[in-house]
Structure 1
């Protein structure tokens, strides 16, 4: 699974170091293989991580820098609202929650070509 670990702008390199320390803990290594993207050279507001779902929970528990741990549901390019709709429709939402539950969607976009964001 791919995650994006959110942090305040400017702390990406520090977060990357902290994540390296977290994933090398014996109890975290036992969860399975994980990888951390290199710290970006520009401000991105976070670091990408790949690993099992339990890794996201461990990061949420142990990180002092991360403000959120987000699961990437898709990572496809888009050019229009229709592309986003198609991608969202292709996700197996029933694997995550039942039709009796609600879903809240918050969108933050910078320099988006889409008009409705």
Structure 2
């Protein structure tokens, strides 16, 4: 659905262009959240919004979306493997929010193209 689109490839490229934000950034010792926890939280929130905005999605379609999110989280764990357990910095948190919105936008497009058209 989403992970096999050109848009997803561009979003992953966008992440790789900003890897230095994660690799060279000191962690925020005041934060209790890890990079992975923020990724999971932000993606979960965005996907809940997608599903709530599209109430006509069937149970099976929602499961497809959840499987896609699982695949995206796996990809992010692979790309950010060295830092997923680090405390998240404010700049990393902001980037993850932006990244999650890009993923949501991609889901918005694909949900309408594949399920609602």
TM-score relative to the length of structure 1: 0.27
Question: Relative to total residues, which structure has the larger strand share, 1 or 2?
Answer: 1
Structure showing greater radius of gyration is 1
TM-score relative to the length of structure 2: 0.27
Structure with the greater relative contact order (CA < 8 A, sep ≥ 6): 1 or 2? 2
Question: Relative to total residues, which structure has the larger helix share, 1 or 2?
Answer: 2
